[in-house]
C-alpha cells in the first residue's frame, strides 16, 4: 500500500511539474515527419521502429541531449540564452541529415540480409551475409561516434549547472 501511495505521489508531482513547465521550443513535428518518410516501412519483424535512434550501436543508454535541451517539457527551466538555443539548433540541423542517411544505409543493409536469408526458405549460407554484417557494424560504430561528439558539443554549449539539470530530464528520454 505504501508503494502505491508513493507511486501516486510521484505521478501527481510529475504531471503537476509538466503542466507548469514548458519546453524551450515546440517539438519539431515536421522533422519527425521527414524522418518517418525517409525511413519508410518498418522491417517485417519489427513491431515499431525508432528511426534513426534505433540504428545506433548504443541505441538505448546514451541520452539524446539536444532533444532534451530544446524539446523536453521542462527545458525552459534550463534558462538557455538565445545564443545557446541557436547553437543547439544549428548543430542539430547540420548533424541530423548525415546521421539519418547513415541510419538509412544500415536499415537498407539489414533488410537486404532479412530478404536474402530470413524471408524465404532458400537463402544461401550464413557466411554469404557476413560482409554485410561487418559493414553494418562499421556504420553503427560511425553513427555512435557521431552521437558521442554531439554529447560533448552540448556540454560545451551548456553551463555545468544547466548540464546537470538536463541529465535529470534524461531519466525518461522522450526525444
Mind listing the pLDDT tens digit of every residue in the chain (175 residues)?
343 333 333 344 444 444 567 889 988 888 888 889 989 999 988 888 888 989 999 988 888 999 999 999 999 999 999 999 999 999 999 999 999 999 999 999 999 999 998 888 887 799 999 999 999 999 999 999 999 999 999 999 999 999 999 988 866 544 4
Query: Are 63 and 167 contacting, i.e. CB atoms less than 8 angstroms apart?
Result: yes
Residue 12 belongs to some domain of the structure: no
69 neighbors 158 (Cβ within 8 angstroms): yes
Instruction: Label residues 145-165 b or e (16+ Cβ within 10 Å = b).
Output: eebeebeebbeebbeeebbeb
Domain-embedded: residue 126:
yes
Domain count, the chain: 1
4 within domain boundaries: no
- 35 found inside a domain: yes
The reply to whether 72 falls in a domain is yes
What is the domain extent for residue 99?
A: 22-169
7 domain residue, yes or no? no
Q: Is residue 92 part of a domain?
A: yes
15 in a domain, yes or no? Answer: no
Amino acid at each position: 500500500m505504501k508503494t502505491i501511495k508513493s507511486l501516486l505521489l510521484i505521478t501527481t508531482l510529475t504531471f503537476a511539474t509538466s503542466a507548469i513547465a514548458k519546453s524551450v521550443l515546440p517539438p519539431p513535428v515536421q522533422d519527425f515527419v521527414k524522418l518517418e518518410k525517409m525511413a519508410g516501412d518498418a522491417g517485417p519483424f519489427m513491431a515499431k521502429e525508432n528511426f534513426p535512434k534505433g540504428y545506433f550501436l548504443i541505441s538505448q543508454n546514451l541520452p539524446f541531449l539536444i532533444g532534451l535541451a530544446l524539446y523536453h517539457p521542462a527545458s525552459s527551466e534550463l534558462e538557455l540564452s538565445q545564443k545557446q538555443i541557436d547553437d543547439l539548433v544549428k548543430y542539430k540541423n547540420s548533424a541530423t541529415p548525415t546521421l539519418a542517411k547513415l541510419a538509412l544505409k544500415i536499415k537498407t543493409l539489414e533488410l537486404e540480409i532479412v530478404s536474402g536469408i530470413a524471408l524465404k526458405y532458400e537463402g544461401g549460407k550464413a557466411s554469404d551475409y557476413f560482409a554485410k554484417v561487418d559493414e553494418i557494424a562499421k556504420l553503427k560504430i560511425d553513427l555512435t561516434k557521431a552521437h558521442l561528439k554531439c554529447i560533448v558539443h552540448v556540454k560545451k554549449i551548456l553551463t555545468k549547472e544547466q548540464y546537470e539539470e538536463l541529465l535529470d530530464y534524461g531519466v525518461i528520454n522522450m526525444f
